[in-house]
């Protein structure tokens, strides 16, 4: 018996012997080899009960229902103290039971690794369906590869799993990738684009972890390869068109600016001679003559207003002004203090307690809100005292409809200016921001139809959005969303 104990003691697997006084009595340990003692951290488990050595759920599984035949039960469990997975198998004959312990940590880790690896691969495949995807280990051996088109394969057929990336790169035009895949486990990440045989390819190479624990070190390399030839072609076409559009816009801005200045000189002469005619020959001009002169002077004044508005519009489109931190509290204070319309109409203005500070062009902010206040106090309802309510809040880009083309990752200072004026039909909500568009005749309300188009241009300059909601006879609400910070 001692000889057998010595033989069992040298086994790499754990072995324990248990005996019971009867088929229903408790199991007590009579022998445990050195491997079993080491796994459980027990110097001498002899005499201990089954559930004093094993966790309760494991002991219940190993014990099982009482029987007189030879039985065998197996259960795996985790020993936290030594961070190991163990499988225990019990064999019983009557009142004796032998339990064999096998360390299955490697198998468990391998299974977990394979599951996480497949999860990573499926995640990449779902989001990057048009990429060649290759996962590889630290020896550059391919763990998984499946994608279309298969750039790396070239003339190779069949499954690439198990093949070495370095060997593949030796004999094809993608040799340059070998330099990058060999560095990813050192923490380097690379994105590179190359032209090969007349086509453009973009490669992304980085290391990831197969473990769910984000703190674990990366043990799998990821190579993504995509044919971007068509995308590059469209990008180049877009860049050319943007350059043409930018050049056209600059030319239009210069034309508007120069034309407005050039028009002012002859206009000044028309107005000057018109005033002289009125002073010197007003009595001589009777009937139609006086009417013609009056109409000429009125037309000249409207032309002067139009030219000044056109100049204002052209100045807004110029890009030589710089963004700076702008306190909107100060902007609103200055705008309201400078507005004669507030006192003239005896309008009630309600402002929020405090406005934020944003990156903006201060002069354009003053013009923006001055135009919006003037608009609100121009189209007042004669049957009720004018009232303008201003609200301010922070909104994320994701809270706006996609049609406004705001960046989802940015926060926006959102200001609403609501009036109780004559309002407008909602069908005209976009038209009112178009230059020279008017919803009312000159005899009803003065203006050139430039003010709101300037507002839109200013908001566009600030990568924001402006829109309006109105109801005829009830008033309008203008909403302006401006990013707190400029740039991407």
Please say whether the beta carbons of 99 and 16 come within 8 A: yes
Residue 433 corresponds to which tokens in the numbers above? 């921001």
Question: What CATH number corresponds to the domain at position 134?
Answer: 3.30.450.20
CATH number, residue 332: 3.30.565.10
Share of the chain above pLDDT 70, in %: 76
Whether 406 and 339 map to the same domain: the answer is yes
The DSSP 8-state label assigned to residue 433 in this structure reads: G
Can you tell me which residue has the tokens 């135009």? Answer: 371
* Residues 196 and 339 occupy one common structural domain: no
Q: Are residues 220 and 130 in the same domain?
A: yes
Residues 81 and 208 in one domain: no
Nearest to 54 by CA among 75, 33, 34: 75
Q: Does one domain contain both 84 and 28?
A: yes
- 31 and 93 both lie in a single domain: yes
What angle do the packed helices 362-378 and 451-461 form, to 10 degrees?
Answer: 150
Query: Could you tell me where the DSSP H helices lie in 207-287?
Result: 229-281
The pair of three-digit structure tokens given for residue 450, joined into one six-digit string: 């430039």
pLDDT tens digit sequence for 195-248? 777 778 888 787 765 444 444 445 677 877 777 777 777 877 788 787 777 776
406 in any annotated domain? yes
- Count the alpha carbons within 13 Å of 348 in the hemisphere toward its beta carbon: 8
Q: Is residue 291 part of a domain?
A: yes
Beta-carbon count within 10 A of 65 CB: 5
Positions of the chain with pLDDT lower than 50, given as ranges: 1, 67-71, 149, 154-155, 210-217
306-345: per-residue pLDDT in tens?
777 667 766 676 556 688 999 999 999 988 888 777 777 7
Q: Residue 68: what pLDDT?
A: 46
**Count of CB atoms within 10 A of residue 185's CB?**
17
Taking each helix axis from N to C terminus, what angle separates 451-461 and 288-317, rounded to the nearest 10 degrees? 10
Domains: count for the chain? 4
Tokens of 159: 């499954």
Which string of DSSP letters, residue by residue, matches 353-420?
A: S---EEEE-HHHHHHHHHHHHHHHHHS--TTS--EEEEEEEEEEGGGS-GGG---TTSEEEEEEEEE-
Let me know whether 39 and 159 are in one domain: no
**Could you give the CA distance from residue 169 to residue 180 in angstroms, rounded to a whole number?**
11
Question: 248 and 119: one domain?
Answer: no
Q: Are residues 171 and 99 in the same domain?
A: no
Could you tell me the residue range of the domain that residue 332 belongs to? 321-483
């Amino acid at each position: 018996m001692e000889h057998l104990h010595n033989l069992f003691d040298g086994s790499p697997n754990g072995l324990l012997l248990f005996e019971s006084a009867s088929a229903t009595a408790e199991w007590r340990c009579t022998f445990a080899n050195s491997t079993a003692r080491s796994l459980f951290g027990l110097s001498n488990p002899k005499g201990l009960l089954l559930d004093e050595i094993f966790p309760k759920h494991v002991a219940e599984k190993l014990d099982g229902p009482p029987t007189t035949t030879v039985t065998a039960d197996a259960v795996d469990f985790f020993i936290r103290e030594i961070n190991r997975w163990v499988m225990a198998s019990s064999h019983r004959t009557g009142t004796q039971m032998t339990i064999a312990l096998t360390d299955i940590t490697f198998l468990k880790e391998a299974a977990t690794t394979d599951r996480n690896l497949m999860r990573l691969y499926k995640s990449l495949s779902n989001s990057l369906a048009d990429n060649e995807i290759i996962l590889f280990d630290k020896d550059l051996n391919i763990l998984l590869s499946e994608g279309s088109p298969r750039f790396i394969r070239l003339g190779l057929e069949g499954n690439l799993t198990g093949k070495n990336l370095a060997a593949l790169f030796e004999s094809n035009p993608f040799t340059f990738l070998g330099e990058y895949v060999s560095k990813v486990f050192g923490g380097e990440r690379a994105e590179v684009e190359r032209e090969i045989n007349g086509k453009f390819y973009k490669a992304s190479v980085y290391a990831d972890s197969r473990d769910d624990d984000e703190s674990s070190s990366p043990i799998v390399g990821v190579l993504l390869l995509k044919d971007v030839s068509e995308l590059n072609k469209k990008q180049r076409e877009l860049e050319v068109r943007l350059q043409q559009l930018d050049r056209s816009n600059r030319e239009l801005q210069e034309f508007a600016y120069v034309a407005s200045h050039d028009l002012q000189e002859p206009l000044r002469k028309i107005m000057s001679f018109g005033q002289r005619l009125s002073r010197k020959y007003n009595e001589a001009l009777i009937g139609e003559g006086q009417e013609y002169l009056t109409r000429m002077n009125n037309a000249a004044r409207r032309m002067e207003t139009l030219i000044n508005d056109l100049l204002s519009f052209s100045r807004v489109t110029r890009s030589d002004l710089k963004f700076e931190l702008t306190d909107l509290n100060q902007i609103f204070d200055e705008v309201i203090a400078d507005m004669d319309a507030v006192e003239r109409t005896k309008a009630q203005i309600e402002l929020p307690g405090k406005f934020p500070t944003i990156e903006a062009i201060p002069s354009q902010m003053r013009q923006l809100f001055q135009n919006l206040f003037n608009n609100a106090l121009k189209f007042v309802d004669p049957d009720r005292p004018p009232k303008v309510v201003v609200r301010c809040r922070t909104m994320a880009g994701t809270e706006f409809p996609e049609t406004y083309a705001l960046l989802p990752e940015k926060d926006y200072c959102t200001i609403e200016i609501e009036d109780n004026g004559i309002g407008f039909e909602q069908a005209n909500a976009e038209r009112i921001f178009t230059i020279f568009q008017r919803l009312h005749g000159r005899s009803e309300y003065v203006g050139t139809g430039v003010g709101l188009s300037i507002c839109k241009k200013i908001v566009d300059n600030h990568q924001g959005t402006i829109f309006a909601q109105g109801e005829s006879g009830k008033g309008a609400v203008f909403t302006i969303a401006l990013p707190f910070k400029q740039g991407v």
